[in-house]
Amino acid sequence: MANGWQQAAAGQAARMLERLHEYVAQETPTGDANALNAFADRLVARYADLGGTARRVPAATGDHVVANLPGRGPLAEQPPLLFLAHHDTVWPVGQLGGSMPWREEDGIVHGPGVFDMKGGLVVLETALQLIAEQEANHRPVRIVVAADEEVGSPSARGLVTAESEGVVAAFGLEPPHPNGDLKTARRGSSRVRIEITGREAHAALDPESGVSAIDELVDQLIAVRSLVGSFDDVLCNVGTITGGGRTNVVPGTASAEIGFRFIDPDTERAVLDSIGKLEPVRDGARVQVSVVSNRPAWRPSAEGDELLAKVAAAGRSVGQEVGGAVAAGAADTNLTGWLGVPSLDGFGPVGKGAHAIHEQIVAATLPERAALIAAIITSL
């Protein structure tokens, strides 16, 4: 059937676009529990239609989804393959009706979430549908769809860890590299919050009685920049800054969230330990540092190379050349790779513009990716 997956998937191209349009139309920003739970219900029903058992896993900011599909034939009792996805996006409700309308033009599909990563959800569903229709032999398949991946999966980390137990390999449905290559390793990623408490006072009549939390925060951020500069190849982005209220009041509170990316666990630990020891510059100021979310570095491995070789062979069986390279971005495959599970990511459709207003995919790569995943599931 290997050569037939490409043809079978091509026959689903129009339906894949329809389903993707339906998914994009149901906007699911991170943290909007009602929107995410409604989409989770949709996924649970879809995986049940495909012959699996699925459930919502409760979380305060939006429920996750876990599904298990039984294997068939001689491989039915073998360890499962794990697929990792997410249904949250970075876009607020209303983005679709504003500056990012759904549109198809010259084989390119635009819209919030088409690339990151509702296209990947449609690709996996289609592959599973093709396998069911052909009654092909395969290992069991396990699926975890996180609701807070875009903010580091703080509530999904334990779930991903638990569902990784006993699997033979893990595959992420995140976008691939621009040329379609898969992702074979990822930088570690941590979000850190620095909170400053100062003391309010009248900025003109009694400034000496105040302790500016904003001034303290600025000095702490300069210290962080200096600290990061002492390490090789650490990425640091101050993503948010808040504080104060009025120009005639010495600000009593301020905070910042910083995103870090690391190539190895030792550097990550050293940087986070150092930042955790920050001391106030001003008398009367208090500094509190907390790690909001963390994804450990996923390093290249011999097991990963072996998995890529098997996936490349599956790709050749459907007429595709599959390559792989290390990625700078982080995702839930960081965790499986760090845990020692052979992992690959980037099985979503080819496109560009993740987290950007020009987010888009190449429509033709939807059935191509579905054929590749069908070949992988039935050959590993």
Residues 134, 11 within the same domain: yes
Residues 372, 250 within the same domain: no
Instruction: Answer with the one of 240, 269, 295 that is the final residue of a domain.
Output: 295
Residues 266, 339 within the same domain: no
Residues 66, 194 within the same domain: no
Residues 98, 35 within the same domain: yes
The pLDDT of residue 3 is above 90: no
Residue 247 pLDDT level (bands cut at 50, 70, 90): very high
Residues 331, 276 within the same domain: no
Reported pTM: 0.91
CATH number for the domain spanning 249: value is: 3.30.70.360
Q: pLDDT tens digits, residue range 194-219?
A: 999 999 999 999 999 999 999 999 99
The pLDDT of residue 243 is above 90: yes
Instruction: Answer with the one of 269, 295, 321 that is the final residue of a domain.
Output: 295
> Which pLDDT value is given to residue 329?
87
> Which pLDDT value is given to residue 192?
97
Instruction: Answer with the one of 295, 315, 335 that is the final residue of a domain.
Output: 295
Q: What is the mean pLDDT of residues 227-231?
A: 93
> Which pLDDT value is given to residue 224?
97
Q: pLDDT tens digits, residue range 95-117?
A: 999 999 999 999 999 999 999 99
Is the model more confident about 266 or about 336? 336
Residue 265 pLDDT level (bands cut at 50, 70, 90): confident
The pLDDT of residue 231 is above 60: yes
Q: Which range marks the domain in which residue 216 is found?
A: 188-295
Give the count of domains, the chain: 2
> Which pLDDT value is given to residue 2?
56
Residues 231, 320 within the same domain: no
Q: What is the mean pLDDT of residues 267-274?
A: 93
**The 3-state secondary structure of the chain, one letter per residue:** CHHHHHHHHHCCHHHHHHHHHHHHHCCCECCCHHHHHHHHHHHHHHHHHCCCEEEEECCCCCCEEEEEECCEHHHCCCCCEEEEEECCECCCCCCCCCCCCCEEECCEEECCCHHHHHHHHHHHHHHHHHHHHHCCCECCEEEEEECCHHHCCCCCHHHHHHHCCCCCEEEECCCCCCCCCEEEEECEEEEEEEEEECECEECCCCHHHCECHHHHHHHHHHHHHHHHHCCCCCEEEEEEEEECCCCCEECCEEEEEEEEEECCHHHHHHHHHHHHCCCCCCCCCEEEEEEEEEECCECCCHHHHHHHHHHHHHHHHCCCCCCEEEECCCCCHHHHHHCCCCEEECCCCCEECCCCCCCEEECCHHHHHHHHHHHHHHHC
Residues 61, 178 within the same domain: yes
The pLDDT of residue 131 is above 60: yes
CATH number for the domain spanning 100: value is: 3.40.630.10
Q: pLDDT tens digits, residue range 39-86?
A: 999 999 999 999 999 999 999 999 999 999 999 999 999 999 999 999
Residues 250, 125 within the same domain: no
> Which pLDDT value is given to residue 328?
87
> Which pLDDT value is given to residue 1?
59
